Amino acid sequence: AQSVTQLGSHVSVSEGALVLLRCNYSSSVPPYLFWYVQYPNQGLQLLLKYTSAATLVKGINGFEAEFKKSETSFHLTKPSAHMSDAAEYFCAVSELQGAQKLVFGQGTRLTINP
């Protein structure tokens, strides 16, 4: 069965600092991996996705993530945090073979300090 673990339910960084949100997955077959962001009172919005092409994936708003099979990780990074990045971030996994559901991690709340 698939699962996702996000290390750190709450991450706080200063504006302009590196953002690193950690995600590790477990999947018995090659996974598809996603990062979603949720701003207050809004739905989940796709940031980026890994679908077995390039291991370094670039998304919206300057975020990127690297798929590392050996580490079963898909950490999300952004070189320089902006105040508008404050939100909840969810990592999710789905399997290629016929699965339609997304399996989510517990989420990481990102706070940006001025």
Partner 1 sequence: EPEVTQTPSHQVTQMGQEVILRCVPISNHLYFYWYRQILGQKVEFLVSFYNNEISEKSEIFDDQFSVERPDGSNFTLKIRSTKLEDSAMYFCASSDRPGPYEQYFGPGTRLTVT
62 DSSP 8-state letter: G
The binder of partner 1 chosen from 41, 53, 83, 84 (CB under 8 A) = 41
Q: How many CB atoms lie within 10 A of CB 6?
A: 20
User: Which of 76, 87, 90, 91 shows the shortest CA–CA distance to 110?
Assistant: 87
- Closer by beta carbon to partner 1, 12 or else 106: 106
Backbone φ, ψ for residue 61 (5° rounding): 60, 25
Distance of alpha carbon 106 from the chain centroid: 11
Q: How far is the CB of 114 from partner 1 (least distance, A)?
A: 27
Site for partner 1 in 77-96 (CB under 8 A): 90, 92, 94-96
Cβ nearer to partner 1, comparing 81 with 107:
107
Binding site for partner 1 (CB under 8 A): 32, 34, 36, 41-46, 49, 51, 90, 92, 94-96, 98-107
